[in-house]
């Protein structure tokens, strides 16, 4: 992070307009030669594009918003932490659904057996 690229990451684009505004800004910085797109990679789940700042050597990950996914623009380390956190929350939610499903089956068995 530096004054030439970005001073902080964005954890979520609040609206389509906010994302469009961000794209305009990053295009400007790419044309200014500070930031270079270094391609698409798939180490993580959600990010689409990788950028490099020639001033501070930071690697930035951009994830485009898509439907309910609000996207992000974060440094490599922030993006890895953020995606790990989302992944953990997803697993906890999936476990919660599984418990609810098992209880429902038990209830149906009980109702059938007691009829």
Residues that bind Zn ion (CB under 5 A): 2, 5, 53, 55-56, 58
Contact, 58 vs 64, CB < 8 A?
Answer: no
Q: Tokens standing for 87?
A: 């992944």
Element (H, E) at 74: strand 72-75
* Closer residue to Zn ion in complex, CB, 2/98: 2
Q: Minimum CB separation from Zn ion for residue 9, in Å? A: 12
CA distance 95 to 88: 11
Contact, 39 vs 49, CB < 8 A?
Answer: yes
* Closer residue to Zn ion in complex, CB, 15/28: 28
* Closer residue to Zn ion in complex, CB, 1/86: 1
* Nearest CA among 31, 27, 19, 26 for reference residue 64: 19
* Closer residue to Zn ion in complex, CB, 32/39: 32
């Amino acid at each position: 992070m530096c004054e030439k690229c970005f001073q902080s990451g964005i954890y979520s684009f609040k609206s389509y307009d906010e994302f469009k505004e961000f794209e305009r800004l990053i295009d400007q910085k790419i044309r200014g030669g500070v930031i270079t797109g270094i391609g698409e990679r798939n180490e993580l789940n959600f990010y689409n594009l990788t950028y490099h700042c020639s001033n501070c050597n930071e690697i930035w990950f951009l994830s485009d918003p898509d439907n309910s996914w609000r996207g992000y623009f974060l440094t490599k380390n922030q993006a890895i932490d953020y995606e790990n956190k989302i992944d953990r929350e997803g697993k906890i939610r999936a476990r919660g659904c599984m418990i609810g499903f098992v209880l429902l089956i038990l209830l149906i068995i009980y109702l059938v057996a007691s009829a």
